[in-house]
Amino acid sequence: MSFKRLVFRSTRGKAYVHFFDLAVNEADKEHLGSFDHLVYIVVFEEGPHMRDKIKKICNSVSDNMFEIHRDDVTKSLIDYEQQKENTNLLIKQTRLQLKDFLLNINRLNDSN
């Protein structure tokens, strides 16, 4: 049974499910290798019974599940963008330091 149908039946049509492919840029694909992942979003009215049902279904299908509440979406996006910028800056700094290190080793070998 498909995931959408399973959610629809278990929630009696009170949850919306949307799938999309995770877009990964070419630089990340080089590091990650083959990378085909599908992301799904389940939107439903808040309630402990509904949440428990959907959690059980999601956990049976996937290992990774992230809950984002409606009020926290904007803040979460800003936080994730900042984390992404920090990570990219760290990668650039690491590359520069590695380049300097290798140049210094090369100079030492040339001087001998």
Render pLDDT for 72-105 as a digit per residue (tens, 0 to 9).
Answer: 778 888 898 999 999 999 999 999 999 999 999 9
pLDDT-above-70 percentage for the chain: 81
The rounded distance, in Å, linking the Cα atoms of 15 and 57 is 12
Write down the pLDDT at residue 50.
Answer: 75
Write down the pLDDT at residue 34.
Answer: 61
pLDDT of 69 above 80? no
Mean pLDDT of 18-26: 73
Write down the pLDDT at residue 36.
Answer: 64
CB 22 within 8 A of CB 38: yes
Instruction: Name the CA radius of gyration of the chain, rounded.
Output: 22
Domain residue ranges of the chain, discontinuous segments joined by +: 1-67, 69-112
pLDDT tier at 35 (50, 70, 90 boundaries)? Answer: low
pLDDT of 1 above 60? no
Report which DSSP code applies to 112.
-
Give the residue from 37, 49, 53, 45 showing the smallest Cα distance to 69. Answer: 45
Write down the pLDDT at residue 29.
Answer: 65
